[in-house]
Each structure stands twice: as C-alpha cells, then as structure tokens.
Amino acid sequence: MERITKIVAFHHAAKVHFMVGNQRRVLVTGGGTFLGDNITAALLGEGAEVTLLVRPGLEDRLGALGQRVRWWTADIWDVASLRGRARGHGVVIHTVGSMTEDHSQGLTHHRLNFVSARNAATMCISDGVPQMVLMSSAAAPWISRSYVRSKREAEEYLQRVGVKSAVIRAPLAYIRGQPRPAFYELMTLLGSVPPTSWLGVGKIAPMPIDVLARGVARIALEPQRTNSIYTAADLRRRNQRHELAKPLMVGEAPGEKPRVHPFDLLDDEAPFGWVPPSDKRR
C-alpha cells in the first residue's frame, strides 16, 4: 500500500513538473498580424518558447520575427489543418478575428470571431493543451455591438466546453508616436488619470500596443491565475512604471545602451485582423 502511494505521488509530481515546464511553451494564432506579432514579441521578451500559426500566404509578413520563433502554416477556419499543431504546448493565445465585416464574402462577425475561437478551442482539446487565452474586446461605445457580441459568444463557448481560459477584454491598441484621431487621444488621456479613469473610461480607453501585448504575455505565463476575465486595468498592472511611460526594452535598465528587442523585429505594416481567404466557403 505504501509503495502504491509513493508511485501515485511520483506520477503526480511528474505531471506537475511537466505542466510547469510546458507553461512557457506558447502557441499564438494570427502570425503576421498586428496583434499576434506584438504579443509574440512580448512573449519572447519574457523568455517564452513561441510557436506561431500563420495563414498560408502571410509567411513573408513575419519578417525578422520569423527567425526567432517556430511557425506553422494553418487555416484557423479549417479544423483539419489545425490538427496536432498545438501538441506539447502549455497555452494557446488566440488573437485571430476582425472588427470589419464583409457580408458579400460571408465574413460576418460571428464567423470571423466566434467560429475562429471555437476552432482554436477544439484544437486545444484535441491536442491536450490545458489552457487558452482568448483575446476578446472591451464594450466601448465606438466599437460595433455585433463585434462585441461575437466575442462574448466565444467567451461563453469556452465556458460551456470546459476549456480553462483567461479572457482578455482588451481596448483598442495603437503604436506610440503614430498619428491617430484626436478623439482617441482624448479617450486615452481620460482613461489614464483620475477621476475619469475610475468611472469606467480606464477599461475602454485605447492603450499602447506594447503595454497591451506585455500584459497579455505575462498573464499567459502566470503559473496560477486568480481571474478568468481581465480588463485594461489588469494589463496595465502587469507593466512596470517605466514600461507604461515608454516602450523600454525588456532587460534594459534606464541609461543603458539600447539593445535589439523582439518588438524591433516587427513589421509596421502587419494587418490588425486575420480573415479567411475570400475564395473559401466553410
């Protein structure tokens, strides 16, 4: 009896060790896109081992980032092409989706956001990935209700099928220093200072993409999570003060000579969303 107890304890310890080791192996959907590539760069800055899923035809968009990660071509709308791609990873971060519909091509918010998330969850289940991070959306007045609804449907689906998940209700993101509408600049300002930041504006105000990506990466790599839903405030809390002030390179102290960082490998022209090929109907 004592021997059996020791064997069970050994296997439990081995399983825990395996899961902890795998936690830093992350698969990111949406390679070659604005969101997917920035989150990948942030993960690399945290020392994670990253695999990217890239839609066929977007391989060239990876640029120098493609030399730092392992990547596979796969179509998130084709479940068969996803089979086995996530095996051996500790977490999948699903970034694929789009705010723009094209009904003439059958590209509704439901298909772009819900169906892609459903297929990613199916991949997690079939490949034995224990956790999934879903990039969802904050419900801001300037964001389409249909888009937000499709994201909420994806959140509910993950709960129904029992996939352990962290939902990131992210605001819009922008690249620091690039021109953007004055309205969004005002919203960012109001979302960063009291008292307006306490009144809900902080959850929906646009934020720098490096802050968002770094927050997502650190949530994904946390061994124990206390929440299942994360907002902009949670993303900001996972950035240090100097990181919020400017996009300081990970591992670089103030005053140090600048060094190459994964964020510098990104293609500024990477698109925001990842949409299915127009000649396919699934």
DSSP 70-87: EEEE--TT-HHHHTTTTT
β-strand 229-230 against 70-73: which pairing, if any? unpaired
Give 108-163 pLDDT, tens digit per residue. 999 999 999 999 999 999 999 999 999 999 999 999 999 999 999 999 999 999 89
Which pLDDT belongs to residue 87? 95
In 41-78, which positions are buried (b, 16+ CB within 10 angstroms) versus exposed (e)?
bbbbbbebebbbbbbeebeebbeebbeebebeebbbbe
Distance in angstroms (rounded) separating the CA atoms of residues 202 and 134: 20
Token digits for 117? 């998330």
220 close to 43: Cβ distance less than 8 angstroms: yes
Burial (Cβ within 10 Å: 0-12, 13-18, ≥19) of residue 28: buried
Burial (Cβ within 10 Å: 0-12, 13-18, ≥19) of residue 211: buried
Distance in angstroms (rounded) separating the CA atoms of residues 169 and 151: 9
Nearby residues of 9 by Cβ (< 8 Å), 6 or more positions away? none
Which pLDDT belongs to residue 40? 95
Distance in angstroms (rounded) separating the CA atoms of residues 16 and 135: 27
Higher pLDDT, 58 or 171: 171
Domains of the chain and any CATH numbers: 20-172+209-248 (3.40.50.720)
Give 52-87 pLDDT, tens digit per residue. 999 988 888 888 888 899 999 999 999 999 999 999
Nearby residues of 240 by Cβ (< 8 Å), 6 or more positions away? none
Give 3-22 pLDDT, tens digit per residue. 444 433 434 443 444 444 48
Distance in angstroms (rounded) separating the CA atoms of residues 122 and 117: 9
Starting at the edge strand found earlier in the chain, the sheet holding 229-230 runs 70-73, 49-54, 25-31, 91-94, 131-137, 165-170, 229-230
3-class SS of residue 186: helix
End-to-end CA distance of the chain: 55
pTM of the model: 0.81
Residue 80 one-letter amino acid = A
Question: Which helix (H) or strand (E) is 185 found in, with range?
Answer: helix 182-190
Q: Which of 27-41, 162-176, 187-201 has the lowest mean pLDDT?
A: 187-201
Which pLDDT belongs to residue 253? 40
Higher pLDDT, 224 or 171: 171
Phi and psi for 190 in degrees, rounded to 5?
A: -65, -30
Average pLDDT over residues 223-236: 91
Which pLDDT belongs to residue 109? 95
